[in-house]
């Protein structure tokens, strides 16, 4: 049985709207093909839906039933190599919640995944549509941190005048650049998350 037949017939997964559930096998093949092509080419701008269809063994129609555009497909594929957005937070303190989020950020990316992330960074700078879709996905991650900070303000742990959006970037950006993108190797250490959070909270603390 081909992936096309699986997509049309069975391999039950969570329904994604009207009609039959979509094949998990076909979806995984499409995602894997997309990531493989990015890693092999070392860039995203030349990637086509036709190439993904050929590599994955499904039709373009099957791909477009899942993703409305090439950019949406690429952004979704890249998201699969990152940590899940959902994090079980203790809600004991801002520090504890931020530490749980920070430690959930992946730091064990393979060389292949590092190449893919580097390609994403370039595509964000040159492709406005991809940047828009990428930002929509990342906003869900930022919203989690923003919610923790907002709750801290409401509990009186943090100052009322803090810029929540800026504070989110001040937390996430250094951890991503050091852990995920391996910049500033001199700062690579086991207690990176604790150090970034403690430095940030010194400026946001209500006392």
3-class DSSP assignment, residue 205: strand
How far is residue 160's CA from residue 172's CA, in Å, rounded to a whole number? 21
> Quick one: average pLDDT of 31-42?
96
* DSSP-assigned beta bridge partners for residue 158: 205
> pTM for this structure?
0.78
The fold adopted by the segment(s) 94-204 is Tetracycline Repressor; domain 2 (1.10.357)
Span 46-94, pLDDT tens digits: 899 999 999 999 999 999 999 999 999 999 999 999 988 778 888 889 9
Span 5-16, pLDDT tens digits: 445 433 333 334
**Residue extents of the structural domains in the chain:** 3-79, 94-204
> Quick one: average pLDDT of 181-206?
89
Span 153-176, pLDDT tens digits: 999 999 999 999 999 999 999 988
Q: Half-sphere exposure of 102 toward its Cβ, with a 13 Å CA cutoff?
A: 28
pLDDT > 80? residue 104 = yes
How far is residue 18's CA from residue 174's CA, in Å, rounded to a whole number? 42
pLDDT > 90? residue 203 = no
The fold adopted by the segment(s) 3-79 is Tetracycline Repressor; domain 2 (1.10.357)
* Residue (of 158, 184, 173) closest to 97 by Cα position: 158
């Amino acid at each position: 049985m081909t992936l096309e037949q699986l997509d049309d017939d069975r391999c039950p997964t969570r329904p994604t709207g009207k009609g039959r559930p979509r094949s998990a096998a076909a979806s995984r093949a499409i995602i894997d093909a997309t990531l493989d092509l990015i890693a092999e080419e070392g860039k995203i701008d030349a990637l086509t839906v036709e190439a993904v269809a050929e590599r994955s063994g499904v039709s373009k129609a099957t791909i477009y039933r899942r993703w409305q555009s090439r950019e949406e497909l690429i952004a979704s594929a890249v998201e699969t190599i990152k940590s899940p957005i959902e994090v079980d937070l203790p809600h004991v303190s801002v520090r504890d919640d931020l530490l749980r989020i920070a430690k959930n950020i992946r730091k064990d990316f393979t060389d292949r995944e590092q190449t893919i992330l580097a390609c994403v960074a370039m595509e964000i700078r040159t492709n406005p549509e991809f940047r828009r879709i990428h930002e929509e996905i990342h906003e869900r991650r930022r919203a989690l941190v923003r919610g923790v900070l907002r709750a801290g303000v409401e509990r009186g742990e943090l100052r009322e005048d803090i810029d929540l959006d800026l504070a989110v970037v001040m937390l996430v950006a250094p951890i991503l650049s050091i852990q995920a993108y391996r910049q500033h190797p001199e700062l690579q250490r086991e207690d990176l998350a604790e150090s970034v959070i403690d430095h940030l909270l010194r400026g946001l603390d209500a006392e």
